[in-house]
Amino acid sequence: MSTIVSQRRQPDLTTVLIATGFVLTLSMGVRHGFGFWLQPISAEHHWTRETFSMAIAIQNLMWGVFGPFAGMAADKLGTAKVIVLGAILFALGLIWMALVSHPTAFIVGSGLLVGAALACTTFGAVSGLIGRTAPEAKRSWAFGMSSAASSFGQFFMMPVDQQLIQHAGWQNAFYVLAALMLIVMLPMAWKLREPAREIDTGPHQSTMEAVREAFTHKPFLLLLAGYFVCGFQLVFIGVNMPAYLKDKGIVDPSVAVIALSLIGLFNIVGSYGAGKLGGFFPKRYLLSSIYLTRSIVIALFVLAPFSTYSVYVFSAAMGLLWLSTVPLTNGVIAGIFGLKYLSMLSGFVFFSHQLGSFIGAWLGGYMYTKNGNYDAVWLIVIGLGIFATLINLPMDESAIERDTKLPLAA
């Protein structure tokens, strides 16, 4: 076992969870609400749905690309500094989306700014701090609380986004949210303090050694594949749900607001429950169960008679499964590889998630433009869920055994 020497007082776990919870609530809440801007922006600029879908797809891809670097910075420089940068980038990105009317500039600029901002203000950036602050017995629960905070953001921000667009206009809505990013996130970042640095008498491991170790370890590759599916499913549904409901004859915008809010509300329960269960049951079995249940719920939604009631039932069921993969996935990474590079490794896994998000967001708009409906994409979503179910089952969650003869940390 390694010996650990604390150099300063540990931060309070409750403070860390509250501060990061506010950041996640706002960041993920705004991100989940972008679907409400699809139709007003497309109508204003005379774009097809594919243009806005591509912008969201690029955002999700850049979120994944910047994720490992945001994680590295959080591990090395501290989470607070990364969140400050993210808040500034988020505000700039929202202002860009409000002002720019050229489709290519809109896609590239918002993709880079908002994508980088999300990398700095969501799970990859804060998971390392939470993991290092929480004792091992509470770690899975703490990750679950973090996911629940992001879910509350979706529940809380959906009606806020819709009301801002309706009463202030879609451009002013972006300005208000940009101001909120700075007003909320900067004080929360100030409250975050890193745990005491640890002097570890176990094997020393550089950043590149940690990366090579992860990418040659089969369970990590299985996590990458499973998280790709997660990203594809969630972003396709989140971005295209409001438009899909209108296509099916539900023109009342409040139905989409309630549907997405229900996803956020029930995901508070789902995320917390998954984190709690992850402390008692093998996480691979819980992950497989989540992906299988998602496929069943989506298939029933597509095949059952369509109504407002069926939309609400589907949203509640999906909410229980929405981000429940996050605490389990972060728990597996921490259990296998330890805490030193947790944010960075979570960032790499999340990059795979965002590759799936990119394809899910883009493919939804592309297939709609080509076929006039989303039928083919729903089938792909169901098939990918079954694939993720199968690949998580054989995953070995055991802590990796390292060569104890490696040079020791200074």
CB atoms within 10 A of CB 299: 16
Residues 6+ apart with CB under 8 A from 30: 90, 94, 153, 157, 161, 177, 181
Distance separating alpha carbons of residues 58 and 52, to the nearest angstrom: 10
CA 175 to chain centre: 23
Q: What is the pLDDT along the chain (410 residues), one digit of tens a residue?
A: 343 444 445 677 888 888 888 898 888 888 877 877 877 888 888 887 778 878 887 887 888 889 888 888 888 888 889 999 999 999 999 999 999 888 899 989 988 999 999 999 987 788 778 888 888 778 778 887 877 777 777 677 777 887 888 888 888 999 999 999 999 999 988 888 776 655 444 457 788 888 888 899 998 999 999 999 998 998 888 777 777 888 888 877 778 778 877 887 888 888 888 888 887 888 999 999 999 999 999 999 989 888 889 999 999 999 899 888 888 888 888 888 887 788 788 888 888 988 888 888 778 878 887 888 888 889 999 999 999 999 999 888 888 876 654 443 33
- Answer whether 212's CB lies under 8 Å from 390's CB: no
In the block, residue with structure tokens 């599916």: 229
Distance CA(236)–CA(106), nearest Å, equals 20
Distances (CA, A) of 367 to 135, 302, 355, 375: 47, 16, 18, 9
* Residues 230-270 pLDDT 10s: 989 988 887 777 778 888 888 777 787 788 778 878 888 88
On whether the CB atoms of residues 361 and 239 are closer than 8 A, the answer is yes
* DSSP tag of 248: T
Per-position DSSP letters for 37-91, written without gaps between them: GHHHHHHHHT--HHHHHHHHHHHHHHHHHHHHHHHHHHHHH-HHHHHHHHHHHHH
Q: What are the pLDDT digits (tens) for 125-183?
A: 887 788 888 887 787 788 878 777 777 776 777 778 878 888 888 889 999 999 999 99
* Cα gap 242→240, rounded to integer Å: 6
Look up the CATH number of domain 13-193+206-392.
Answer: 1.20.1250.20
Residue 111, SS3?
Answer: helix
